[in-house]
């Protein structure tokens, strides 16, 4: 057997070949350290086994720095374990102190429970194989699927976090199928997917129109999308800037307002109202979305202080009443948006 044939027989190579060129959507050839597009000859490196399909486009992250960090995190995860690797990211990339890093570690690891519950809950009819987790982050969905012995495909703009997702999935004995990629340039053929799930992503992508049109492109007819995102018009503070009232301002005033109130930059954050996300997906993806304001989850409430727990229960009682439903788009904190791609256009 030639070296090439040996590689072709490996399951890792099979997994890599379900991706496509993010530029022309052509088929890929797998070499030991690179994937090469058979159509346009573009080359994509493998970074600690994970293909890097990110193309030059505006993003909140520096790709070269992220690649170095990813290699470092892969080593830490191998030598010291998953928890130490997660702490390393919080300490060094996010500049959190020891206490906050440990706290966020617990939150990340506990996140798998929420994902499992959502997968057997509202996502159950919205996860048809193959499923793509668009915006893997630390990999709670990928890990929750792996714990059930299932493979969920996943992409993220951060290779550093994808290393966590890779090792987490392997800890359940499942070889994950992950790639570094931009939401606006998905490394997938048209109609390749049964479902896309995407939590807390749309508000951070550089080009929301392309995000929506790419989801419309990669879904098979009858395929589904499920998203969760913070509501633009919310009575709670903007969840990234921790400043009140941001969403009620015109978009061009939002960044200056955040700067004024907190001194922080407000970039790569554009929260959508329920009307805005519906219009976006109708126009760019040909998809009609259902929007629902869910209660705050039990897993999140468990992490709250006593006072905040009381407030969360009150929020849930009020917001889940029929009376509140019509005003939720103007006050609610988070919503779920889901839809099905029509079978025939």
Q: Do β-strands 289-292 and 153-156 pair in parallel, antiparallel, or remain unpaired?
A: unpaired
- Taking the complex as a whole, how short is the minimal distance between the CB of residue 180 and Zn ion, in angstroms? 16
Q: Which of residues 271-330 bind Zn ion (CB under 5 A)?
A: none
Distance CA 319, CA 95 (A): 36
Q: Which of residues 135-194 bind Zn ion (CB under 5 A)?
A: none
38 vs 94, which CB is nearer to Zn ion?
38
Q: Which of residues 13-42 bind Zn ion (CB under 5 A)?
A: 21, 23-24, 26, 37, 39-40, 42
Cα first-last separation, the chain: 47
- Taking the complex as a whole, how short is the minimal distance between the CB of residue 188 and Zn ion, in angstroms? 12
186 vs 225, which CB is nearer to Zn ion?
186
- Taking the complex as a whole, how short is the minimal distance between the CB of residue 28 and Zn ion, in angstroms? 8
Q: Tokens in use for 40? A: 């346009």
- Taking the complex as a whole, how short is the minimal distance between the CB of residue 46 and Zn ion, in angstroms? 17
Q: Tokens in use for 182? A: 């931009």
Residues that contact Zn ion, how many (by CB under 5 A): 8
19 vs 233, which CB is nearer to Zn ion?
19
Whether 132 and 162 have beta carbons less than 8 Å apart is answered as no
Q: Tokens in use for 281? A: 């997906």
Question: Which residues lie below 8 Å from residue 219, measured CB to CB, with a gap of 6+?
Answer: 191, 193, 194, 195, 196, 225, 341
21 vs 174, which CB is nearer to Zn ion?
21
12 vs 40, which CB is nearer to Zn ion?
40
Question: From residue 192 to residue 221, what is the string marking binding to Zn ion with x (rule CB under 5 A)?
Answer: ------------------------------
- Taking the complex as a whole, how short is the minimal distance between the CB of residue 36 and Zn ion, in angstroms? 9
Distance CA 303, CA 25 (A): 43
Task: Provide the residue count of the chain.
Answer: 345
24 vs 260, which CB is nearer to Zn ion?
24
51 vs 230, which CB is nearer to Zn ion?
51
Cα separations (Å) of 319 from 49, 169, 198, 245? 45, 36, 23, 19
Question: From residue 36 to residue 75, what is the string marking binding to Zn ion with x (rule CB under 5 A)?
Answer: -x-xx-x---------------------------------
36 vs 220, which CB is nearer to Zn ion?
36
- Around Cβ 87, how many Cβ atoms within 10 Å? 19
- Taking the complex as a whole, how short is the minimal distance between the CB of residue 181 and Zn ion, in angstroms? 13
- Taking the complex as a whole, how short is the minimal distance between the CB of residue 35 and Zn ion, in angstroms? 10
DSSP state of 90: I
- Taking the complex as a whole, how short is the minimal distance between the CB of residue 42 and Zn ion, in angstroms? 5
Distance CA 124, CA 266 (A): 35
Q: Tokens in use for 193? A: 């997917």
Query: Strand 334-340's sheet: what is its strand order?
Result: 177-180, 153-156, 131-134, 193-199, 219-230, 334-340, 289-292
Return the percent helix, strand and coil in the chain, to nearest 5.
Answer: 45, 15, 40
DSSP state of 283: H
- Per CB under 5 A, residues contacting Zn ion are 21, 23-24, 26, 37, 39-40, 42
């Amino acid at each position: 057997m030639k070296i090439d044939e040996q590689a072709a027989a490996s399951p890792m190579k099979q997994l890599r070949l379900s991706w496509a060129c993010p530029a022309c959507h052509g088929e890929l050839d797998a070499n030991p350290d690179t994937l090469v597009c058979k159509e346009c000859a573009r080359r994509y490196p493998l970074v600690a086994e994970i293909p890097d399909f990110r193309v030059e486009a505006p993003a909140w992250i520096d790709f070269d720095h992220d690649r170095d960090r990813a290699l470092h995190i892969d080593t830490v995860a191998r030598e010291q374990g998953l928890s130490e690797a997660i702490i390393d990211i919080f300490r060094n990339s996010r500049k959190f102190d020891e206490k906050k890093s440990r706290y966020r570690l617990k939150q990340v690891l506990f996140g798998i429970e929420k994902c499992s519950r959502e997968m057997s809950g509202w996502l159950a009819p919205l996860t048809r194989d193959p499923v793509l987790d668009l915006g893997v982050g630390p990999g709670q969905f990928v890990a929750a699927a792996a714990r059930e012995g299932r493979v969920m495909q996943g992409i993220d703009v951060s290779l550093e976090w994808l290393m966590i997702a890779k090792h987490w999935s392997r800890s359940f004995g499942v070889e994950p199928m992950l790639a570094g990629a931009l939401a606006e340039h998905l490394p997938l053929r048209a109609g390749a997917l049964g479902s896309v799930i995407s939590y807390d992503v749309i508000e951070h992508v550089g080009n929301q129109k392309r995000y929506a049109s790419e989801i419309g492109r990669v879904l098979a007819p009858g395929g589904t999308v499920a998203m969760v995102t913070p509501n633009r018009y919310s009575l709670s503070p903007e969840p990234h800037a921790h400043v009140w009232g941001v969403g009620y301002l015109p978009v061009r005033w939002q960044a200056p307002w955040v700067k004024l109130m907190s001194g922080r930059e407000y970039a790569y954050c554009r929260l959508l109202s329920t009307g805005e996300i519906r219009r976006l997906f109708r126009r760019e993806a040909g998809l009609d979305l259902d929007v629902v304001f869910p209660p705050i989850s039990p897993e999140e409430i468990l992490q709250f202080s006593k006072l905040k727990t009381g407030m969360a229960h009150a929020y849930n009682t009020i917001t889940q009443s029929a009376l509140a439903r019509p005003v939720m788009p103007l006050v609610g904190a988070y919503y779920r948006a889901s839809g099905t791609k029509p079978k025939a256009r």
